[in-house]
Structure 1
Amino acid sequence: MFAHITARHAAEALHAANPWSAPSIVHDSVQTSWALADHPRDRLVQDLAEPAAKHDRVHGTNTEDTGVWHIAIGGITDIADLDDGECAAITHDVAAAAGFHDGDRPTTRWVAARSRQDHTLHLIASTVGNNDEPLRVETEHVHHVCREIETRIHDQNHAPLEHIGADDLDHEAVVIRDNPELGIAHTLGADNLAELILSKTGFRSADLGAGFRAWRTPYGAGPEQRAHIASTALDLLSAVGYRVSIQTSLLTNPRPDHDIGRAERRIADLTEQLDFCFDADDVAEATTEIDATLRRTTEFTRALSAWSDQRLDDGAYSARLAEAATLLDRAAAIINRDPAEAPAPRPSHMVTRAATTSTTARPGPATTPAASAPLPAGEPPLRRTR
């Protein structure tokens, strides 16, 4: 990745041999408001050249032919795959190195454009800053930042797979991991439907090698943007049934309870199915599913016990967690007993003595209760005794 830096006429910097090959604007620091019918190129040239022209009128100089800085950036890795937002992020970094802006505050008028014909990016900035002083460009610093960007993009595209969690993937599993040091989040394990969802949420395809089809967040995406993209993907993927393993730092809100809600609904269904179970074999299917849930809960409780002992140095809490895991084990064993251990089911025609008494007594004639006479005023109500 390299940068070619010159001071030239604004019209030359935005020149294109053919209208269809003209660079498209990806950033405009002055938020120029123009429509295509208003000859935007001419308006943009005028806006960029105006500070230098004003400076010439005040100081009696003539810098029209060098009224703007033009930085052409080439040799960008996979530039054809970059969207306009990523191109804007690259030009933003280079513009900061050139001194065109300080943080979010522009120090001069500048725009960034991309040329899809020759795969280059262009920064055009007024040579006179917003303080009406000539603006100098530190060319060596610009070249240094270009090399840093190239290295960063390379590192992002070749992130080690062990940081991603790519083991034991299948067509129903998706792994989303963040790498704050590289400023990128990766996704692995997607099939065709998941890939469509990922592309719609802001991920783009990336080749990490080793036969894995990977997806990455755009270049320049900060922590909040990466979290927004990943959390949106999580919501959509989980809603259509994918198992998603996502890093906690990528969650913008508490994790949606798609899996938890599904488990709760399943337990409720199993509870209702008990009314239709008539023997131990029938109920064994339900208890097997509950047993699996309890086993996972037991594993988590034991892991939490070990973690609290190592990280929190809280032996009492760790001991209580270990005891809870043991109780969960016992509960699983009780719930999921062998059907052979169950006694024979009660015949459906058998009823209890209480039921016989209440159901076989001959009903008497229906009577209408007489209305009781009202009590005299001030008299306490009578108490009935046996």
Structure 2
Amino acid sequence: MTEKNPQELAKKHLARVEAAINLEEPDRVPLSWVGGDIIPAYAGITQHEFCYDYEKAIKAIEKYLKDFTFDWASAGIPGLAGRLFSVAFVEFPDIARFITSITGPMHDVLGDKYYRFPGREIDENCSPQFIGGTFMQPNEYDQLIEDPVGFIAETVLPRVCTNLETPRKTMATWVRYGIETNRFFSALAEIGKVSANLGYPTISTAQSYAPLDIIADFLRGFDTVLLDIYRYPDKVKKAAEALVDPVISHTLSFKKSGAKLAFIPLHLNEYLSPKLYNEFYWPTLKTVILELLKEDIKSYVFFEGYHDAHLETILELPRGWGIAYFEKTDVIKAKEVLKNHTCVMGGLPISLLVSATPQEIDKYVKNLLEKVKPDGGFILSPNIGTAPRETPVENISALINAVEKYG
């Protein structure tokens, strides 16, 4: 990191990422970071400390980013999706974006039933886990459709959070949550300074969601909503449609912080046939993406699992709409289908980083980039964002060196 000052390095990294998003060919294929459990392991702390001790987490992130150079590093305190809470607060845009990610300390304050954190419900070195659940009955679909924000805020959240069960507990909980939020964002600001001093660009990213995933993850439960599609198809469609505006409104609350991208992780996509995907899932997700694009926010969609059966639907979006980040879909195939239309991201199996030798990683990256590098529009990234603690650090170095050689 001595070749240029931090500002010049940040400009170079950002130029690569932006060129790929804009379907151009940068000077080198941009490399998104390998994060997750490897960061606390590299610093010699537990996952519990990484989640709960912000001072130790900041130092761990600084050590990792100093020793391993990526083009795009979205470093932060571990948290899990809190989109339901964001919908509940969507009428207060100055608050909504501050309740998008639920950290370990926030989980403790809320007493929620959605998450498990290390050193609490799970082992101190486990990754935080989202388990979801069923907190809405089928006869309540009409209430959700009529007033999604009110129903979630007033009916669902008290069921989800033990510390929101009574008015008195609720008042104390939100005061404690505000205190914790202030502590959390102070830590994020410090991480931002650390990243900037090491030459990493600021890529402000909003958080969004597929409307049907809100129902599946937070309200009805994953398996139950798949049955609901057959049992109550009209109600499921109307409920997803009712959530479109709250999702968009919440996402737009990030514009104040300069967000130009909106991250959307998909969950149900892999489990739906093309017919069901196109009937129940894609229409509302597509609306969210298009409406955000009108507001100059491109979407950064994580197509979890195998998205092969639905790949062609992405071509229904305008050219240059955003980033298609794939977990299990073959990025070589995806690049062929989406060439000159969509920026493709992914391609690096975490299993490879964990089990391969540095030489095997070098060979893999060389062969992959030969196929996906031409014409630009590609970002190399792990297929999931979390590398386990046992990931050999020499493999991270091998990955970075291979991208420098072949990218």
Q: TM-score, normalised by structure 1?
A: 0.24
Q: TM-score, normalised by structure 2?
A: 0.23
Which structure has greater strand proportion?
1
Which structure has greater helix proportion?
2
Q: Which has the larger radius of gyration?
A: 1
